[in-house]
Structure 1
Amino acid sequence: GHQQRLNQRHGFAPLKSPGICYFKWENLPTKRVKHQRPLFPIKRTTIVRAVAVPVAPSPAEILPSPAESAEYRIQLSKTYGFRQIGEPLPDNVTLKDIIGTLPKKVFEIDDMKAWKSVLISVTSYVLGLFMISKSPWFLLPLAWAWTGTAITGDSGMAIDCLPDGDHGMDQILVNAMVGLSLLGYMGTVSVSGQVVKKMSTFTMVHHTAPHIPFKHSDEWNAARAQLNGTVHCDYPRWIETLCHDINVHIPHHISPRIPSYNLRAAHQSLRDNWGKYLNEATWNWRLMKTILTVCHVYNKEQNYIPFDEIAPKESYPITFLKKVMPDSA
């Protein structure tokens, strides 16, 4: 392996740490000195003397070249199930700089598009209730999946109605009337657990990856956290439609004032201006396997440590998932 290649070159391995220097045999002086041949053969012993002189590491030794970084991120993307892992955002970029590149039209409210979103949520949820009431037992899981996704879309509209979004009290009232008319008070309570689970799944995919670190408040950078620390994940189109593009998540973190029906236009603008810094994926089994079997205990040096490395004897569910989950990307 590596040691054999070093032996073949007859040289010392280059070490990228300060205070250590190295050399290769072929770099030694080749000038020959003539000596008289002794009368009796003498066994010679060759002694090589080297002195370690402190040498300051060069930037190339500390940081990989851009080409190596790009290649490393590509390999990391394949390993984790991502389409792209973004390069680190420069420290001098602010959230205001990013918002300034977004076109003004993505912040505009369109009443027709807003009511279209309401219509999609209402009809899809009513259809889901109908399927649950009429489906045979073996089709109920499909009906549950449809209905749960539809009610998650109502939560997506609720995000549009947040006061920070500056969308007006009328939209908040519309959202409240739609939800209460469909569910009633007790109905809202009964499905809240399903909504939380669905929303938690979206949130987990949006914010959990082995290469995304947690940052303490004294280290936190708003622009890097919102642009570099969030994941855009594409789902099957019917899920994106029922959930009002909640998966197009990075623009929502850049500015909550962007309504859901403008998220795609905002994300395209981010791609055009900041594309190399974005984390993007298409939902796949390898991505979910990475999140479920790797991202467990946070560690500042490694970001995440899986349970089976900390307590192997007590991590049977994790080892089971690693064996049975598909690894297709």
Structure 2
Amino acid sequence: MTTSIIKNQNQTYDLGNSDLRLKDIIKTLPKECFKKNRFKAWTNVAIAVLMVALGYVSIAISPWFLLPFAWIFTGTALTGFFVIAHDCGHRSFANRRWVNDLVGHVLLLPLIYPFHSWRIKHNHHHKHTNKLDEDNAWHPIRPEVFETWGPFRKAVFEGFMRNRLWWLGSIGHWAVVHFDWRNFKTKDQSSIKFSVAVVVLFAVVAFPLLIATTGIWGFVKFWLLPWMVYHFWMSTFTIVHHTTFDVPFVAAHKWNEALAQLSGTIHCDYPRWIEFLCHDINVHVPHHLSTAIPSYNLRLAYKSIKENWQPYLHDESKFSWALMKEITDKCQLYVTDVGYITFDEYHAGR
């Protein structure tokens, strides 16, 4: 942050004790940002399907030494499937709910991701972004919570962060959270059961068929490894969107919705081919201001946000190994009202 007091739209806001409301920001965005465009939406679907198909062809014909490149490309293209389903989950893909639900379910099938489970949990993240103990995406662990864990769980988590295994994070989240309808409110459980049944049925049919025609290696080659690349990007996008040593997570009584969404969300640039295949999900600040903005309008919205609200924005970052090393090295535990500390600092203070 570059200043503690800014003036915008003929009003003055204090960054530390802000009267800023989310609707103040949304009102400054061009109306075009919120317009759904059927042609753009379905063009993105066509591009995603074409890129995934191209990826699978490349896996099928690549010699062994080119397979890693084919897996990376295909897994990244599959992430594009998820991003379009992400629009569907926020009802920003189509006007009709049944279209959003149908497209969302179909695109998440090869990822074995229950659509309604993800949609409901993800909307909770948007309602409580960077709220300590409430945000259910990639959230920090407080020392007092860490201390209640058993030795094995502590060792796993500490090793996970120290060894920079962030890229496995979304696999655990997928497996633990999204298949048990008891994790959801009673009113949502029928939808959850339906989505779980859809992906389980797909897996029961598709996986044995894939193994029968290509063998166990074919299952690993065509599904498992691209799927792991997809989870690499899921984990990476999620942690980078809201995590750096100077982005605070605050208690509920101090939480300001507008500041959490505007200042607690980080824009990160990735290589252009990744941004293309993933439909600009990295342009994440406008998405947190309003989930009604379709992915193809994120850049237009971000341009406006930078023009009107630049002093609120966190510095942009650029994806690199150095960035991920910094995040995993510095953002290990979180002390309320203080910020992130490392495991070494935690152990030294005991």
Distance 1:177 1:244 in 2: 18
Percent identity reads 47
Contact kept in structure 2, 1:89 and 1:277, CA below 8 Å? no
Contact kept in structure 1, 2:51 and 2:77, CA below 8 Å? yes
Moved more, 131-140 or 177-186: 177-186
* Greater RCO, CA 8 A, separation 6+: 2
Residue 106 of structure 1 is matched in structure 2 by 33
Secondary structure of the corresponding residue to residue 247 of structure 2: coil
Distance 1:308 1:112 in 2: 53
Contact kept in structure 2, 1:122 and 1:178, CA below 8 Å? no
Residue 303 of structure 2 is matched in structure 1 by 268
Q: Which amino acid aligns with 1:91?
A: S
Matches within 5 A, 1:234-273: 234-273=269-308
Residue 252 of structure 2 is matched in structure 1 by 217
Match of 2:319 among 283, 286, 310: 283
Matches within 5 A, 1:138-153: 138-153=65-80
1:176 partnered with 2:211: no
Alpha-carbon distance change, 150 to 287 in structure 1, aligned in 2, over 3 angstroms: same
Give a deviation string over 1:239-296, Cα, whole Å, max 9, x none: 0010010000011110000000000001111011101211211223332221021110
Residue 82 of structure 1 is matched in structure 2 by none
Give a deviation string over 1:141-193, Cα, whole Å, max 9, x none: 11111111111111110111125547422243234345558998225996766
Q: Which amino acid aligns with 1:109?
A: K
Is the helix fraction higher in 1 or 2?
2
Gaps of 5+ in 2: 5-13, 113-198, 208-222
State the 1:229 CA deviation: 0.5
Distance 2:345 2:111 in 1: 47
Matches within 5 A, 1:1-329: 70=2, 88=15, 91-165=18-92, 167-168=95-96, 169-178=98-107, 180=109, 185-186=202-203, 194-279=229-314, 280-311=316-347
Bigger Cα Rg = 1
State the 1:139 CA deviation: 1.5
State the 1:216 CA deviation: 1.4
Distance 1:228 1:89 in 2: 12
Moved more, 292-301 or 174-183: 174-183
Alpha-carbon distance change, 181 to 284 in structure 1, aligned in 2, over 3 angstroms: closer
Number of paired residues?
Answer: 230
Q: TM-score, normalised by structure 1?
A: 0.63
Q: Which amino acid aligns with 2:301?
A: A
Gaps of 5+ in 1: 1-68, 73-86, 313-329
Alpha-carbon distance change, 170 to 255 in structure 1, aligned in 2, over 3 angstroms: same
Q: TM-score, normalised by structure 2?
A: 0.60
Distance 2:52 2:276 in 1: 13
Contact kept in structure 2, 1:153 and 1:243, CA below 8 Å? yes
Q: Where does structure 1 differ by over 6 angstroms across 4 or more consecutive aligned residues?
A: 181-184
Distance 1:138 1:306 in 2: 39
Distance 2:322 2:110 in 1: 40
Contact kept in structure 2, 1:89 and 1:228, CA below 8 Å? no
